[in-house]
Each structure stands twice: as C-alpha cells, then as structure tokens.
Chain A
Amino acid sequence: MVHVRTVLDILALVTGLLGTAPLFFHLNRIPQFVFLAALVFVIFAAWKGVPPLRGWRATVTTGVFFIYYALQFSRDNLVEPAANLLVVLLSIRLAGEKIPRNYLQIYALSLFALAASSAFSLSGAFLGYLGLLLLSIAVSLVLLTFFTVDSRLSLTRRGLRRVASVAAAMPAASAPLILLFFVILPRPQFPLWDFLSPAGEKVAGLSDRVEPGSAASVGEVASPVLRARSEKLPQKDLYWRGVVLNTPQGNAWIRTEIPGREIPPPKGVVMVRQTVFPETTASPWLIALDAPWSVSGVRSGKSADLVFRKRRSSGGRLKYDTVSAAHGAIETKEGIDRDFYLKLPEKVSPRVLSLGRSIARQGGSDSVRLSRLEGYFQSAGLRYATRDLPRSADPLDEFLFERKAGHCEFFASSFAVLLRAAGVPSRLVGGYYGGEYNELGGYYLVTESMAHAWVEVFLEERGWVRRDPTIYAVNFSRERDGKRRGLVATVRLIADSMSYYWNQTVITYDLDKQLRMVRATGSALRTLSFPSGVRRAGIPLLVAGFLLAVCLVGAKRKWGSREQRVVRKFLRMVGKRYPHISISPSTGLLELAERTGDPRVRRFADIRYGALYRDRKLSERELSLLEDITRAFAASREIVRDIERTSGTSH
C-alpha cells in the first residue's frame, strides 16, 4: 500500500522544481539560495521526520520577502522582482505544512514561475517544461482529490498505477485542444504592456560604431543572430547588410544620418526575396541581404543609403520580408556629396596618408585607383587574425605596416581611409558575412561569429560598389564558416531547425497569422472541389454510408443485440405455442421450461444461462444454436397449426 500523502509530497517537489528550473538562472542570488535551501530542508525533514515550517515563522518570512520585493517594483522593473518573489513564495510553501489548499498553491506558483520564465527566455525548452509540469500537476490534482476525500487514504500499487495512468492521460488527451485554443485565442494587434515582454536573452547585435584597436582580441560567439528563409545562394553573395558607417571619428567609424532621396530599385537584376527571423537584439538595425531595397512586415524607416531602422523597440520576436539585389552594387543616378565621403579622420598617420596620396598621384579614374589599392592589399601580405591585434594609438598604421594582422574591421577601416586619402569616396558597412544553409528548414542561420565589416566604394559609372578587403588576407578562406559536417554538426543542424520552427510557428504567431489562416480556410472552403468522378459517385456513396451507419446505430438501439433479438423472438414463439402461459419480459427461461415442460425451452435456457451465469458473452456457436432452436420451434408451430387446420376442415 502507498500513502497518497507521500506521493503528493514527492510530486509537489517535482512540480516546484519543474516550475523553477527554467527561471532559476535568471533569478537573483537570494531566491536561488532560498529555493535550494527549501529543497534540502524538505528532503532532510522527510528523512529525519523534522516538522515542516509552520505558524508565525512561515507567515513572517513570507511577509518580509514580500515587502522586500514590493519595494523594488517599478514600471520599468516589474518582471524581475515578481519572478524572484514567486520563487521565494514557492520555496516557503514547499518547506511549509501542507493541507490541500497548500498543495494547490504550490501548483499555481509553479505554473506562474514557468510563465514568468517566458519574460526572460523564449527558448523551445519551454514546451518541454510545460509538458512535464502539466503531467505532474494532472497526477497531483487527481491524487489531491483522493486526499481531500480521505487524508489517510492508501492505495495499492496497482490502484495507484490506475489512477496515475488515467491522470497522465489527461494532458496527452488535451494536446489537440491546446493546439486549437492556441490557434484561436484572440491576439491583440499590439501588446498593451509591451514592457512586460522584454523577451529573451538579447544577443549583442550590430554595433553602430566600428573601432579597430579597441580590444586585443575578439571572441567567436556562435549564438544565432538571424535566420533567413531563402533559396540557396552562392557563398560570395552572402553579405548581410546592417548599418552604414560613413563618418570617421578618432580611430572609430560612426554613422551620421544623411539626407537624400530614395533610390529606385535597379532594373534587370534578379531580386532575392527572403523572410528574416532575427533574434532579439538591442540593436535597432534590421539586417537584410545586401543590398536590400525593401523591408516589409515591421514598422521601419529606410535611409537613402539603404539602412533600415526599427520604428518601435518591440520586445517580442520579429519577422520581416525583404527584397534584395545581391549583385553587389547600389546604383545612384543623382551622384553624392563627395566631400562628405572623402572626409578623413582628424589623425591619420603619415605612412597611411602618403600611401593614399601616392595612389592618387598616379592618376586615373576612381576605379583605376581602387584597383591599385586592391593590388596593394593583395601584395602586402596581410593576415586575418582575431588575437594579438594592434592596440597602439594609431592601430591602422600598426596593422598595415607593423603587425600586418587584424580582423575585418582593420581591413575595412584601413581600406576605406586609404580610398578616401586617394580621393575615392568610400564608406564602411557593418553586417554579417556567410551563413549556414539549413537544408532541413530551407533557411540560412547567421551567427554572431559571422559579424563582418566591408567597404562600399563610389564609382561614378556604377554607384556604390561592395568591396571586401578581408578577402585579400593571405589566410582568407571564403568557406571559413562554411561546411562543417559530422555528427555534432548534424545534431546542431537539427536542433537549430527545431528552434527555427519553434520561433516561426509559436513565438511569432500573431493576429496577422490568425487572420491569414481564417482567410485561407475560407477560400479553401469556397474553392473546395472534387474531381468529377468523385463528385458523381463519391458524395452519394458518402451520404448513403452515413445514413446506413445512422440506421445501424438506431436499429441496434431499438432492437438490441443479436442475443436480445433471438431471446425476444423465442419468447414470442413460446407465447404463441403455449397461449395459456402468460409471459412477461421478467419471466425467467427456467421457470418457463418448468411450466411448459418443453425440452426445447429447457435446452434454450441451459445455453443462455450457461453463458450468463459465467459472466461471458454467448459464443457464435451458441448463438447459432439458439437461433436453430427458435427456428425449429417456429417450424413445429407451423406444423401444429397445419394439423389443427386440416383437422378443422375435416370436421
């Protein structure tokens, strides 16, 4: 026998753990400690038989924590104190005395804790936690019902298994309903309290400043930045444009908004359409395949240099559609403010300046000068590196002439400065290069480690042309993030696909999708058509089948099973054969056999009761026998009637 209370206590612990686990690492130290202490205390108390926390101690502890966190509440800081307080309350409840009401509080607090975790992380693991939590709460609630009826109730292991299996079937059975409710529950067009959903671990995102030489090394973080549903593209075209940095400031490049007319999209160029699912970042730039001509599906502003900026800082997940021309140039008909794009940093080392000027002195058009600089970069023996980077006061000078090693920012920054020194307008573009194509989901995954900077050069005849000086590094490989294979890579690919679908189907599901689904269903119903053969034969058959099924069910209800029918018919026959014996529905067959003295009735009764009193159904053979007896009985009755008739006529 198992005490229901013991099982309830264990399940309360499991429920508390499942509710807190996804939130744990977003909590402050105090609730983390309180929760762990409560767990240890509960296990220790159960082991040593120590009484639980009760009375004024529990109340005072709760009150103190409540006041402590209530003081931290503010409009901008609502979620964090609430989450911390929830976990503290849950811990106190777990360690405290438990009456049925307290168990319910534990389940509710665990569910709230899980809900609070959605304010910190939108990971797909949530679904797993939710599933397990529902399972645990379902079994607990059913057992709690038993406990409420009788607090000292014990169940046999078999009984407990029965109860648990039925309870566990509840979340499983509710899965289709959960899906239905999720789809149809009304979504607001805009969240009313957006500040409550800052949503997620923010990745750093694109910085609006490039400053080579500010760090000795750069990290290689593989956290996703965006996923773009797209056809597969050549690796050389995978430049994801973020922000254009057009103004040198000290050793850095920053962005200055420049007024300008919108450029019309190029003609005769194949456009690439993509849907981008960015991770939540602090950066306001909308990233799209270079060069983006339009971004739709999110409120954004477009600059003349094709930089798209989010209008509202939305906490939740975004997705937007982009149209890009991936040929690496932005045609401008109107020309540019050359002086603005030729402005040099205040301090340029003499070596850098003289290199630029020497290219300029050799004369030629802008494109000739560009080729000359590219020739210099190709022959300079520069290496791509992420460690031991130049950190002097003039990092570009150090990069070009001393260390000859640096990452993309050094390459792009020095290339742009040299171009400007040579009198060719240029600007820096910050974005990402590369992308892992997920064949499973049909999308590109761009990670933080693919952050990149390149240069756009203005050539009169072509407009702004993309040039990536990093490709001139002696150790450059275009496939640096390209093909990684093997088991780990495959697992990563599958895991990322799941994350992608999770974001696509669950996280970004909104009013717009709801409306589209309704419209799609409506139009599908309107245009519902079958091939003519099916329409001619199939629909009448379907209707006939349905009617037949209805009739069969009705007949079974009205006339009962085969066994009931044969018994009824037999009684009718006996009634006609022996009219002096009154037969009611409650007349027993054995009684009838005795009263009629008819061996066939006796035989009929023996067969029927043989099954009935052994609590089994009549076998097919026995049913046939009963039918045979009934038929024989009817036939003999016919004979008797015939004899009576013949004798009647002979009189």
Chain B
Amino acid sequence: MGFAAVNTGNNLLFLIVSSLLGFMAVSGCLGWMNLRNLGVTVSLPDEIYDGKDTFVTVRLENRKRFLSAFLLRVHISGKDARFPLVEKGCVESDAVTLVFRGRGSKLLEKATVSSPFPINFFVRRRSVSLSVPFTVFPSPRECPAVGGTGKKDARGDAFSRSKGFGGDVAAIRDYTASDPLKLIHWRLSARQGELKVKEITAPSEDPLIIDVLSLPAGGLEENLSCAAYLVNRAFRANRAVGLKVGSRLVRPDLSRTHRLRLLTELAVYGTR
C-alpha cells in the first residue's frame, strides 16, 4: 500500500497508509497498557508432593483505573491460567494443575503474563514477581508395614487421647447440645435426673516413631518416600507418629500441623 501511495502520489492512498500506521501504533500501546497494573497472586496448597499433580489457584487483579484487561495468560512452571476478561478493579481466579519435581524448600519466583490483545499479530509478555516459598514433600511410596506390634489385630490395643466412636467408655459427663443422641447414657441419666453422655475413645495403636535412615526401602530418597507414606498412613489410622532423622528426633503427636511438620522435616532433610 505504501509502495502504491509513493508511486502514484495519490493522497487517499497516503491516508490509508497513515491510518494503518496510526492504527498499529495505537494497538501496540493498547497491548502494552493491557499488561500494565496487573497483580498476580498464587495460592499453593500446604501439601505438595514430589511428582504429584497439585492444584494451584492463580488470582489476577486488574488494578487499572479505566481499562479492562483482555485475553491474559499467566504462565507458571510450564502451565497456563487463562483470563479472557478482567474488568477494571476486579479480581478473577483460575486453577492450574502443576507438577513439582524434587523435594525440598522452593521458591515460586515469577510468573509470565502474556496476551495477544488487541490484535493477534504479536504476543506481548511481562514477568511478574511472585516470591512464594513452598515445600515439596517426598512423594509417598508404599513400603512394607513396619513399626507396628506385628499382630494383625493390634488396632485397639491402645487408647487414643482423642474422642471417637469405636473404643471404650472413657468418661461420663453432662450432655451438651453438640453431642449425638446415641451417646446419651440413658440409664445413668434416668438415675441422676439430668442427661449424661458417655465419652468414648477412638481405637488407636501405640505411638510410632519412624527412624527414617533405618527403613528398609533402599536409598535415602526411597526411605524418605517410605517415611512420608508411613506418616500419612499413621495419621489416617489416628496413630500418633514421631520421627527420627539422623540425630534429630521429633516427638509423636496427632495434629495436622504436626503431620505437616514431619513431612517438612522429610522434605528438607539433607538439603540445607
């Protein structure tokens, strides 16, 4: 078109060429503005296992005053979260499945925001700093049951400190509104004139301490994987579990925070 304009000196062709150039410049500007004033935050779950699918929520905030943001793609660790339209001042979220390789403490440093907007001739990119620390736990790998009493019916040998439904009566106390009806001790209630309930323990086993390095799985990584499996299995079985890694000993406990602490110990072992 420019060639035709120069060759013919026809000003209407010059007008078309000028329009196209002007249009390209404005579209370039618009594409640049589209990627400005964006906030990307990533929410990682607190349990991330080596080599396992992990759902990650990506939130994109459009902090622009006047313009909506269009056709954005947030690229994190090889996967894309897509945001066709984020209105001005709004936040949208999308979930991506990521797989993290290698255990240990890691840092999700940055994400790349890209967009072909407004016209699909170029794709613009911009890096956004994330700096999200996270820990990848060893991938749990099944290994032979160890550390039990060896008996098949060992479950129920010990009483858990937490309440449950499968054990023996541990105590009798006054009824509260949150107690299930089946726990009411009718005979005692009739005798005493007010509602009494039974507190029943959950079936449990003796606390378990896993000595990671003497597990029979093989190398260090295999042992760590095996330990992660055992930790999770023990918690599912409502069994207090502790850890012995080298010279470091973590006492047995039952809380979720404790379990994450154990898994973190396994994750970072030997990496610091």
Q: Does A550 contact B (CB under 8 A)?
A: no
Q: Does A193 contact B (CB under 8 A)?
A: yes
Q: Beta-carbon contacts of A110-144 to B below 8 Å, as 1s and 0s?
A: 01101100110010001100100010001001101
Report chain A residues within 8 Å CB of B15: 126-127, 130, 178, 182, 506
Q: How far is the CB of B170 from chain A (nearest CB, A)?
A: 36
Do the beta carbons of B119 and A163 come within 8 Å of each other?
A: no
Please report the C-alpha to C-alpha distance between residue A148 and residue B70 in the assembled complex, in whole angstroms.
Answer: 13
Q: How far is the CB of A420 from chain B (nearest CB, A)?
A: 46
Q: Does B172 contact A (CB under 8 A)?
A: no
Do the beta carbons of B11 and A174 come within 8 Å of each other?
A: no
Q: Does B26 contact A (CB under 8 A)?
A: yes
Of all chain B residues, the one with the shortest Cβ separation from A148 is B120
Q: Does B8 contact A (CB under 8 A)?
A: yes
Do the beta carbons of A191 and B16 come within 8 Å of each other?
A: no
Other-chain contact of B27, A114, A150, A170 (Cβ < 8 Å): A170
Do the beta carbons of A506 and B11 come within 8 Å of each other?
A: yes
Please report the C-alpha to C-alpha distance between residue A580 and residue B243 in the assembled complex, in whole angstroms.
Answer: 36
Of all chain B residues, the one with the shortest Cβ separation from A185 is B14
Do the beta carbons of B17 and A145 come within 8 Å of each other?
A: no
Report chain B residues within 8 Å CB of A148: 116, 120
Do the beta carbons of B30 and A166 come within 8 Å of each other?
A: yes
Other-chain contact of B118, A145, A155, A176, A192 (Cβ < 8 Å): A145
Q: Does B19 contact A (CB under 8 A)?
A: yes
Please report the C-alpha to C-alpha distance between residue A585 and residue B109 in the assembled complex, in whole angstroms.
Answer: 20
Please report the C-alpha to C-alpha distance between residue A641 and residue B195 in the assembled complex, in whole angstroms.
Answer: 62
Please report the C-alpha to C-alpha distance between residue A73 and residue B2 in the assembled complex, in whole angstroms.
Answer: 22
Do the beta carbons of B22 and A178 come within 8 Å of each other?
A: yes
If A130-B19, A170-B27, A185-B5 touch, whether A144 touches B10 (CB-CB below 8 Å) is: no
Please report the C-alpha to C-alpha distance between residue A173 and residue B8 in the assembled complex, in whole angstroms.
Answer: 28
Do the beta carbons of A111 and B70 come within 8 Å of each other?
A: no
Q: Does A47 contact B (CB under 8 A)?
A: no
Q: Does B237 contact A (CB under 8 A)?
A: no
Q: Does B41 contact A (CB under 8 A)?
A: no
If A134-B23, A174-B26, A181-B22 touch, whether A199 touches B10 (CB-CB below 8 Å) is: yes
Do the beta carbons of A118 and B10 come within 8 Å of each other?
A: yes
Q: How far is the CB of A16 from chain B (nearest CB, A)?
A: 17
Please report the C-alpha to C-alpha distance between residue A616 and residue B23 in the assembled complex, in whole angstroms.
Answer: 37
Report chain A residues within 8 Å CB of B17: 181, 185
Please report the C-alpha to C-alpha distance between residue A142 and residue B30 in the assembled complex, in whole angstroms.
Answer: 11
If A159-B85, A162-B68, A163-B85 touch, whether A145 touches B117 (CB-CB below 8 Å) is: yes
Do the beta carbons of A149 and B71 come within 8 Å of each other?
A: yes
Q: Does A186 contact B (CB under 8 A)?
A: yes
If A192-B7, A196-B8 touch, whether A174 touches B23 (CB-CB below 8 Å) is: yes
Of all chain A residues, the one with the shortest Cβ separation from B26 is A174
Which of the listed residues B1, B17, B70 has the most CB atoms from chain A within 10 Å of its own CB? B70
Which of the listed residues B23, B29, B30, B116 has the most CB atoms from chain A within 10 Å of its own CB? B23
Report chain A residues within 8 Å CB of B20: 111
Do the beta carbons of B8 and A197 come within 8 Å of each other?
A: yes
Please report the C-alpha to C-alpha distance between residue A303 and residue B12 in the assembled complex, in whole angstroms.
Answer: 35
Q: Does A194 contact B (CB under 8 A)?
A: yes
Of all chain B residues, the one with the shortest Cβ separation from A122 is B12
Please report the C-alpha to C-alpha distance between residue A145 and residue B121 in the assembled complex, in whole angstroms.
Answer: 9
Q: Does A153 contact B (CB under 8 A)?
A: yes
List B residues 58-117 near A (Cβ within 8 Å).
67-68, 70-71, 82, 84-85, 87, 116-117
Q: Does B146 contact A (CB under 8 A)?
A: no
Q: Does B25 contact A (CB under 8 A)?
A: yes
Do the beta carbons of B85 and A194 come within 8 Å of each other?
A: no
Report chain B residues within 8 Å CB of A114: 16
Do the beta carbons of B18 and A115 come within 8 Å of each other?
A: no
If A115-B12, A170-B26, A170-B27 touch, whether A196 touches B18 (CB-CB below 8 Å) is: no
Please report the C-alpha to C-alpha distance between residue A114 and residue B11 in the assembled complex, in whole angstroms.
Answer: 13
Of all chain B residues, the one with the shortest Cβ separation from A317 is B11
Report chain B residues within 8 Å CB of A321: none
Other-chain contact of B23, A127, A171, A187, A196 (Cβ < 8 Å): A171
Other-chain contact of B7, A166, A196, A506 (Cβ < 8 Å): A196
Q: How far is the CB of B23 from chain A (nearest CB, A)?
A: 5
Q: Beta-carbon contacts of B21-36 to A below 8 Å, as 1s and 0s?
A: 1110111011000000
Report chain A residues within 8 Å CB of B120: 100, 141, 144-145, 148
Q: Does B270 contact A (CB under 8 A)?
A: no
Q: How far is the CB of A147 from chain B (nearest CB, A)?
A: 9
Q: Does A167 contact B (CB under 8 A)?
A: yes
Report chain B residues within 8 Å CB of A181: 17-18, 21-22
How many A residues, CB 8 Å from partner?
58
Of all chain A residues, the one with the shortest Cβ separation from B67 is A166
Do the beta carbons of A177 and B22 come within 8 Å of each other?
A: yes
Q: Does A320 contact B (CB under 8 A)?
A: no
Q: How far is the CB of B74 from chain A (nearest CB, A)?
A: 14
Q: Does B42 contact A (CB under 8 A)?
A: no
Q: Does A385 contact B (CB under 8 A)?
A: no
Do the beta carbons of A163 and B70 come within 8 Å of each other?
A: yes
Do the beta carbons of A316 and B10 come within 8 Å of each other?
A: yes
Please report the C-alpha to C-alpha distance between residue A516 and residue B87 in the assembled complex, in whole angstroms.
Answer: 48
Do the beta carbons of B11 and A115 come within 8 Å of each other?
A: no
Do the beta carbons of A146 and B10 come within 8 Å of each other?
A: no
Of all chain A residues, the one with the shortest Cβ separation from B68 is A162
Q: Does B9 contact A (CB under 8 A)?
A: yes
Q: How far is the CB of A620 from chain B (nearest CB, A)?
A: 20
Q: Does A263 contact B (CB under 8 A)?
A: no
Report chain B residues within 8 Å CB of A163: 70, 85
Q: How far is the CB of A618 from chain B (nearest CB, A)?
A: 17
Q: Does A175 contact B (CB under 8 A)?
A: yes
If A142-B117, A162-B87, A167-B118 touch, whether A194 touches B8 (CB-CB below 8 Å) is: yes
Of all chain A residues, the one with the shortest Cβ separation from B89 is A615
Report chain B residues within 8 Å CB of A179: 18
Report chain A residues within 8 Å CB of B1: 111-112, 115
Do the beta carbons of A145 and B18 come within 8 Å of each other?
A: no
Q: Does A509 contact B (CB under 8 A)?
A: yes
Report chain A residues within 8 Å CB of B117: 142, 145
Q: How far is the CB of B54 from chain A (nearest CB, A)?
A: 25
Please report the C-alpha to C-alpha distance between residue A177 and residue B117 in the assembled complex, in whole angstroms.
Answer: 20
Do the beta carbons of A142 and B21 come within 8 Å of each other?
A: no
Do the beta carbons of A170 and B71 come within 8 Å of each other?
A: no
Q: How far is the CB of B148 from chain A (nearest CB, A)?
A: 44
Other-chain contact of A174, B6, B7, B25, B68 (Cβ < 8 Å): B25
Do the beta carbons of B85 and A155 come within 8 Å of each other?
A: yes
Q: Does B4 contact A (CB under 8 A)?
A: yes
Q: How far is the CB of A204 from chain B (nearest CB, A)?
A: 23
Please report the C-alpha to C-alpha distance between residue A364 and residue B85 in the assembled complex, in whole angstroms.
Answer: 96
Do the beta carbons of A510 and B9 come within 8 Å of each other?
A: yes
Please report the C-alpha to C-alpha distance between residue A160 and residue B120 in the assembled complex, in whole angstroms.
Answer: 18
Of all chain B residues, the one with the shortest Cβ separation from A146 is B71
Other-chain contact of A170, B18, B23, B116 (Cβ < 8 Å): B23
Q: How far is the CB of B164 from chain A (nearest CB, A)?
A: 35
Q: Does B169 contact A (CB under 8 A)?
A: no
Report chain B residues within 8 Å CB of A264: none
Q: How far is the CB of A371 from chain B (nearest CB, A)?
A: 52
Q: Does A188 contact B (CB under 8 A)?
A: yes
Do the beta carbons of A507 and B11 come within 8 Å of each other?
A: yes
Residues of chain B whose beta carbon lies under 8 Å from any beta carbon of chain A: 1-2, 4-23, 25-27, 29-30, 67-68, 70-71, 82, 84-85, 87, 116-120
Known: A171-B26, A174-B23. 5 other contacts (CB 8 A): A115-B16, A171-B19, A178-B19, A180-B18, A197-B9
Q: List 24 A-B contacts (CB under 8 A).
A: A115-B1, A115-B16, A138-B23, A141-B27, A145-B71, A145-B119, A145-B120, A149-B71, A150-B84, A166-B30, A166-B68, A167-B118, A174-B23, A177-B21, A178-B15, A182-B14, A182-B15, A185-B14, A187-B9, A193-B8, A196-B7, A506-B12, A506-B15, A510-B9
Residues of chain A whose beta carbon lies under 8 Å from any beta carbon of chain B: 100, 111-112, 114-115, 118-119, 122, 126-127, 130, 134, 138, 141-142, 144-146, 148-150, 153, 155, 159, 162-163, 166-167, 170-171, 173-182, 185-188, 190-194, 196-197, 199, 316, 506-510
Q: What 4 A-B pairs have minimum CB-CB distances, sorted nearest first?
A: A177-B22, A118-B12, A191-B9, A174-B22
